[in-house]
């Protein structure tokens, strides 16, 4: 049976299955490698799914309502300070394309995740330690649940 927790897991799984360009950090996840074997800083991403709202659409009998959960998929791309913005911009755009106008997680009839158009910001300081530049790609999504 599909649910919101499963939808969040499916969003992360879609990203992990399609992203091979950098290490991926997640909320409350294990530490990731942020340096090369030589000790140089390497690009990495912090991936999160942020819920925003839940509402019921339409009327019907209990068990046949359409619930809509809105949220944001955010991929924060980090590159070493001094490496320029081009790589961070390219990685952010590539991360967003994984979710552009996608529909997935159809575990139960009437349930799915729909994601929309990616939006990348202009970037900024990525850490208090002064080592990272960050660009964030945000993709709005809806999880539709019949229940």
| Digit-coded pLDDT (tens) for 38-89 | 999 999 999 999 999 999 887 777 777 889 999 999 999 999 999 999 999 9
Q: pLDDT value at position 146? A: 82
CA distances from 34 to 25, 41, 118 (A): 10, 6, 25
Q: Is residue 40 part of a domain?
A: no
CATH of the domain at 88: 3.30.2000.20
Query: Is 34 among the domain residues?
Result: no
Residue 113 covered by a domain = yes
Sign of CA dihedral 35, 36, 40, 41: negative
Q: CA–CA separation, 9 vs 69, rounded Å?
A: 14
Cβ–Cβ under 8 Å, residues 132 and 79: yes
Give CA–CA dist 26/6, Å, rounded: 16
For residue 132, what are the domain limits?
4-18+45-146
Phi-psi domain of 26 (left: phi exceeds 0; alpha: psi -120 through 50; beta: other): beta
- pLDDT (0 to 100) of residue 78: 97
pTM for this prediction: 0.93
pLDDT of res. 29: 96
With respect to residue 59, please indicate whether it lies within any of the assigned structural domains: yes
Q: Residue 27: inside a domain, yes or no?
A: no
Q: Nearest 5°: phi and psi at 80?
A: -60, 140
pLDDT at 139: 98
Mean pLDDT of the chain: 94
Comparing 126 with 69, which gets the higher pLDDT?
69
User: Considering the domain boundaries, does residue 124 fall inside one?
Assistant: yes
The answer as to whether 72 is a domain residue is yes
The answer to the question of residue 9 being in a domain is yes
Number of domains in the chain: 1
């Amino acid at each position: 049976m599909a649910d919101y927790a499963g939808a969040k897991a499916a969003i992360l799984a879609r990203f992990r299955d399609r992203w091979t360009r950098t290490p991926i950090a997640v909320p409350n996840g294990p530490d990731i490698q942020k340096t090369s074997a030589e000790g140089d800083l390497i690009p990495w991403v912090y991936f999160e799914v942020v819920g925003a709202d839940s509402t019921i659409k339409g009327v019907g009998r209990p068990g046949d309502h359409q619930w809509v959960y809105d949220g944001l998929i955010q991929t924060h791309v980090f590159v070493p300070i001094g490496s320029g913005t081009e790589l961070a911009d390219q990685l952010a755009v590539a991360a967003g394309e994984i979710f552009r106008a996608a529909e997935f997680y159809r575990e139960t009839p009437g349930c799915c995740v729909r994601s929309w158009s990616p939006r990348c910001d202009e970037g900024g300081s990525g850490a208090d330690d002064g080592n990272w530049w960050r660009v964030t790609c945000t993709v709005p999504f809806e999880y539709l649940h019949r229940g």
